[in-house]
A and B are shown apart, each in its own frame.
Chain A
Amino acid sequence: MATIEFEGKSFTVDEDGFIDSFENWSEEWVTYVKGVEGIDELTEEHWKVINVLQDYYKKNGIAPMVRVLSKVTGFKLKHIYELFPSGPGKGACKMAGLPKPTGCV
């Protein structure tokens, strides 16, 4: 597990750069991932995706399936990729502080 220091905060991350626990998520983390992801500016649309992901995770303990994310935000998958170049998992979930899903996925 590597450690990332950013704007006075310390984050422990896995090999793919996901934070070790949702509890350790903060807005500084979003700013950090924004830089790594190469996103110029965070818009309301980015925050809509992040909020939907986090609300779902708090309720269900898992990221929503991509189709649910798409339906609830009203964004097509293509648009989610425009917002988060690495996609809903490695981009959006990472930024929202969610763990990555494993198994037959």
Chain B
Amino acid sequence: MADEVPKVEEMAAINHTPPKTGWMDTPAVIRPGMYCYSAKAKPLNIVGMPNGRDWDPIEEDWHLPENWMEIVLEGLHDRLHRFRSLQLFMDVCVRCGACADKCHFFIGSGDPKNMPVLRAELLRSVYRKEYTLAGKLLGKMVGARKLDERVLKEWWTYFFQCTECRRCSVFCPYGIDTAEITIIGRELLNLLGLNIDWIATPVSNCYRTGNHLGIQPHAFKDMIDFFVDEVEDVTGVRVNPSFNRKGAEILFITPSGDVFADPGTYTAMGYLILFHYLESMGLDITWSTYASEGGNFGFFTSHEMMKRLNAKMYMEAKRLGVKYIIGGECGHMWRVIHQYMDTMNGPADHLEVPKSPITGTVFQNAASTKMIHITEFTADLLRHNKLKFDKTRNDNYNLTFHDSCNPSRGMGLLEEPRYIIKEMCNHFYEMPEGTIREQTFCCGSGSGLNAGEDLELRFRGGMPRANAVKHVHEKHGVNTVACVCAIDRAALPPLMDYWVPGVQVAGVHELVGNALILDGEKERTEDLRFEPLAGMEEE
């Protein structure tokens, strides 16, 4: 059990002195709190991923298939041919070190193998041995080494201590995307059944039931119905969402975390309020109980699995006959949509280019994917003065905004969430430059690492983000971090409790839901969390 997390003072005393031995001679240490439980046979078998078995990372014997080395080297060979980017990234690094101190895991752990350059070297060293003349002849002298079990375990350790956030790649003069090296590293491990449970189980759930949590259609509806009651309690207005409705104009898909886990649930209530508000203005939108997940943990296993899970959203859009999709406040979903969808499952020619039924705005940026982010949709409504709202209802919130890695670096969504927050709230303060926008610090739990057993890893990796929040907390009294990602909403609350107690986490559409003035609403005295509005506190 790894529930015990070091005390804040211990955690903050980070040792950045490298070990005395060279990196090739320093074995990886897999210790509780810093790794995630292994993927077991069951979820891997459900989706047909290879070599599913029960194994334990802290045991010596990982029960590898006999020809494991052959499998990995063939896998590498195959990917070098399929992905030109990988070939380039293997060859081009000059080890300048620009990325070295940009990784949140390196900053928070001091472990040199969390420097992006060195994380990449773990794989690159094997590449050199297999594919370069110098590596074959001179070996270690030129940074080449043979693949063996120790190397494999080192890969597993450090490719699951990377959140694929891509902050390092922003600083690389060659544009090496270290996240893609981790992605390939994980794919190779996956060939041997070496995944983690927190990724494999959501993947198999999503394949079976359409969402990571394994929520079945009737349960999904039950959850939304619960929010309908809650919205009525707060606003006095009964909203009326529809499910799987054929012929609707728009399909709405959000991460299942929003319908299940706090504080994402308040964001889900915000969506419902917004959709109800717009209904009389011509919004014709439906939820699906089958494509009930925006996230795609398949992205953290292999390109093929990502493609399979992504397909469900578009198949459902086709089945229902909608014109396009609005996606909710999700993180990595947008990396998948923005960077892969077009040539992976797309282009989605059976859908139409998204056009707001309220403002007439055509979202040309989504001309191929036919899918827009809900903050793009809402920001457009605000720009056209289509919403009536009372921003004082968010006066209890002193906000900052955490750019989620994938929407910011993966699709350039920087302005829309900020614009909405500033419209909806009176008190907004940016965190320091260098920690926001495309240079945002990861929550420390992305890419499937948001499990319960690796809290030390998560709190170390989340330290730089928390540190920037602490700055605005102390300087401006910030008490709420807004974000547009369900992993953030799950991961940031414990991170804040640990490093910056007194700061809570909210989705952007929770703030929208608080502020929107609905026709026929009762006098609003509470926000969506059933907390009294500013000035409404009982004596």
Contact = CB atoms under 8 A, between A and B. Distances in A.
B265 A67 contact: yes
B212 A102 contact: yes
* Residue of A17, A101, A102, A103 contacting most chain B CB atoms (<10 Å): A103
B256 interface: yes
A104 B487 contact: yes
A62 B261 contact: no
A62 B490 contact: no
Contacts of A104: 212, 255-257, 261, 264, 295, 330, 450, 486-487, 489-490
Interface string A1-35: 10000000000001111000000000000000000
A62 B226 CA distance: 15
Interface stretch (B21-29, B83-91, B195-203, B307-315): B195-203
Given A15-B453, A67-B262, A103 B205 contact: yes
Contacts of B201: 102
B218 interface: yes
Nearest to B259: A65
A66 B211 CA distance: 18
Nearest to B226: A68
Contact of A105 (B1, B218, B297, B490): B490
Contacts, number: 83
A45 B87 CA distance: 61
Contacts of B265: 65, 67
A102 B197 contact: yes
Interface in A86-105: 90, 100-105
A43 interface: no
A60 B450 contact: no
Interface residues of B, number: 41
Interface string A50-80: 0000000001111001111001000000000
B341 interface: no
Interface in B334-361: none
B216 interface: yes
B452 A103 contact: no
B37 interface: yes
B54 interface: yes
Q: Which of B215, B259, B260 has the most CB of A within 10 A?
A: B260
A60 B489 CA distance: 24
A73 to B, nearest CB: 14
B505 to A, nearest CB: 13
A61 B216 contact: yes
Interface string B148-188: 00000000000000000000000000000000000000000
Interface string B195-230: 001100110010000011111101100110010001
Given A16-B452, A65-B265, A90-B452, A105 B216 contact: no
Contacts of A105: 213, 257, 260-261, 450, 490
Contacts of A14: 37
B213 A103 contact: yes
Contacts of B205: 102-103
Contacts of A16: 1, 452-453
B54 A1 contact: yes
Nearest to B43: A102
B1 A62 contact: no
Given A102-B202, A104-B261, A62 B486 contact: no
Given A104-B450, A105-B213, A105-B490, A66 B54 contact: no
Given A16-B1, A104-B257, A104-B295, A66 B226 contact: no
A14 B40 CA distance: 10
20 contacts: A60-B215, A60-B222, A62-B213, A65-B223, A65-B226, A65-B259, A65-B260, A67-B262, A67-B265, A101-B261, A102-B201, A102-B451, A103-B257, A103-B260, A103-B295, A104-B212, A104-B261, A104-B330, A104-B486, A105-B260
Interface of A: 1, 14-17, 59-62, 65-68, 71, 90, 100-105
Interface of B: 1, 37, 40, 54, 197-198, 201-202, 205, 211-216, 218-219, 222-223, 226, 230, 255-257, 259-262, 264-265, 295, 297, 330, 450-453, 486-487, 489-490
Closest 10 CB pairs of A and B: A103-B212, A104-B257, A104-B486, A60-B219, A105-B261, A103-B202, A102-B201, A103-B213, A104-B487, A15-B37
Given A65-B261, A68-B226, A71-B226, 16 more contacts: A1-B40, A59-B219, A60-B216, A62-B214, A62-B215, A65-B260, A66-B261, A66-B262, A67-B262, A68-B223, A102-B197, A102-B202, A102-B451, A104-B212, A104-B486, A105-B257
